[in-house]
Structure 1
């Protein structure tokens, strides 16, 4: 835990957590499910399916950011990613490819959900410190619900803000403020935590929230922001001595 991390959470009354690749290992789940779905569309050597799925996850044409900004619908985003994969690997794209992919992807994705092992400790520490905890994700409500149901977390979070909430997502300042409103907290009382420097830290700070960047891969940044490489560091900072319990307001 760094001094800047401790300062970021001191006196905070709420945590606003990202979902994908912050509390849930979405990268692994999407690649695992994507490989099975790719096999349904393009039967062939198994090693190719993993490469196709990785390309789908990497999304080099930026379909997901376009969806998050409200420019394209969810289904169009997914179809666009699949079409890009087909082009990149010089594969024919059957007319039913998108439907076949999604039908195979859905059950595999639910089955592949994994919570990062450092999440339960953080949630317990936040509860002990009297902090409200909410989720803010650029994913849609339906896949977010799948993740929470698969992990038994549906009842854990009263506030879950997805792109469906306002029609767009991070880094638009309005989604952070909407999350704070639903938490009944002022932006300056809330710490946003996530793996995206742009969406979970810089965007949150621009909206008036505090923020901590989760840099699991140790990429580093020149930005002057609080950084942790493991949620256990944030857990250590959430000692009740750093601020009053939320119900003491």
Structure 2
């Protein structure tokens, strides 16, 4: 495969966001969800990640603001697990507690630094495209030790919307300095990352790590994506070999 650049999703691709949600939501449960003991923390985590109301996607589509979507998710979580409804004042305190546990737990995925270094040593351009705010994601990369090697190129605030819209992939390629057809995009979501990248003219790689997925993925959808050109890996460590490095 001949490529000039690799674009990465950030959350659960380069940074262990799922792992960081754990302590953040455990702190929330102890303070706000009295009926939830530590033995049910995995249920809270699964519900938060699933985001059944698609609040985060509404933010990524530019239909609501970041604070609005997280406030809505917080109340949905409370509704599911017996917590109080949060007004604006109560939510501010909730979010401060959540953010303390979340941001202090940001770490790089185990093989991320090694793979990024291999790509850079091979002369490939590397950057990040994410469905969150640029400054917020840049701080996440910095905390995880990747900020000096993976520039944050496009966030949801860049064009006012994010993935799966093709324009954000094309803008990221423009900023990376590579042609879409010679650029790989790597992400942990099948549709929003890999399939969307292929539809935008890039080469999409779905990072399907072992363990619980955020949402169920039908085998037929995986087959259809592969037929469209999506490549599937189970770890970042497979990518250099896939690119012939």
SS of 1:222's partner is helix
Whichever of the two has the greater Rg, that structure is 1
Q: Unaligned stretches of 5+ in structure 2?
A: 212-216
**1:60 equivalent in structure 2:** 52
Distance 1:49 1:104 in 2: 19
Aligned residues: CA RMSD: 2.0
SS of 1:24's partner is coil
94 and 209 in structure 1: CA distance in 2 versus 1, 3 angstrom threshold: closer
**1:4 equivalent in structure 2:** none
Matches within 5 A, 1:116-155: 116-155=109-148
Question: In the TM superposition, what whole-angstrom CA distance separates every residue of 1:169-228 from its partner, at most 9, and x where no partner exists?
Answer: 001010000001101111111001111111111111111111111111387621222111
**2:214 equivalent in structure 1:** none
Candidates 7, 20, 28, aligned match of 1:29: 20
Distance 2:58 2:12 in 1: 19
| Contact 2:208–2:234 under 8 Å retained in 1 | yes
| Contact 1:15–1:134 under 8 Å retained in 2 | yes
The answer to which structure, 1 or 2, has the higher relative contact order (CA under 8 A, 6+ apart) is 1
Matched, 1:232 2:234: no
Residue-pair matches, total: 231
Matched, 1:100 2:93: yes
| Contact 2:34–2:83 under 8 Å retained in 1 | no
| Contact 1:36–1:49 under 8 Å retained in 2 | no
In the superposition, the TM-score normalised over structure 2's length comes to 0.86
Q: Unaligned stretches of 5+ in structure 1?
A: 1-9, 241-249
Distance 2:112 2:99 in 1: 24
SS of 1:160's partner is strand
127 and 145 in structure 1: CA distance in 2 versus 1, 3 angstrom threshold: closer
Distance 2:197 2:131 in 1: 13
